[in-house]
Structure 1
Amino acid sequence: MRLWSLHPRHLDRPGLTGCWRESLLAQAVLAGRTTGYRAHPQLERFRAQDDPLAAVGIYLEAIAEEATERGYRFDRTRIDHRPSADGEQRDGAPSADGRIPVTTGQVALEWEHLLLKLSDRDAERWERESARTGPELHPLFVAVPGDVESWERAGR
């Protein structure tokens, strides 16, 4: 399960669709609808929120928005707790300033991991993304100084 801290606009088609599926799985785990993946370390940052389902709903909504911008149709009715259309948060979701912190070390690791995937799967996107000075974060997250997150298992 890869729940990227990076903005979904950086992901290629397989990355975006995979992130959608895996985020829906994360939502099912957090809602208690599945017994698999309950101990998955990437869920720690969602479980640490006052309302984990609302947080994962915000996460999913940004993925769905990116999909819409690309002409894909992800079924937003599958999101249990969606932000309202006017930008106000519903269902106890974190406020705009209640973003989840993610360390700069984690962001760097994910960026490197994504660029490696893109170099294998999508040369054009790899060229465009690798020319950037760095990634934009998913809107749910805010960067804070630090090493790779304790829950990260890739590259350890």
Structure 2
Amino acid sequence: MLHFLSHCSSRDAGFHVDDAEVTLNVCLGIDFFGGDLFFRGIRCDKHVNTETQPEEILDYSHVPGQAVLHRGRHRHGARPTTSGHRINMLLWCRSSLFREMKKYQKDFSSWCGECQREKKERQSQSVAATKLAFFKAGGGSNT
């Protein structure tokens, strides 16, 4: 699907994810200021509105003639253009095979930032509980 998007000074593209597996955003505008993109981590449907972690914050300033390629599930938005006229060409790439496979997949921990964080937290709690049980059983003594 090919879509041309023009951002004028009063418009911005609020925080969202694309209905695509991959998005190509090509900056075609020549004389503009503002309109920067901001990215805030990749999420599955379950976690799309969760809090952004500091390591997930990425800001990008458009450069005419250059493109940004990103996962559609990468939460992002565009800030308002402050002057001039910014024109972007967006190409949303969708995969019917990926979408069909996603119906049967329950664990997104390999690509969702929040699933990864939750998995690490569960592992950490499990290790802590195992250590505590080991020391309570006397396994931690030097006798």
The answer to whether the superposition gives a TM-score over 0.5 is no
Higher RCO (C-alpha 8 Å, min separation 6): 2
- Bigger Rg, structure 1 or 2: 2
TM-score by length of 2: 0.26
Q: Is the strand fraction higher in 1 or 2?
A: 2
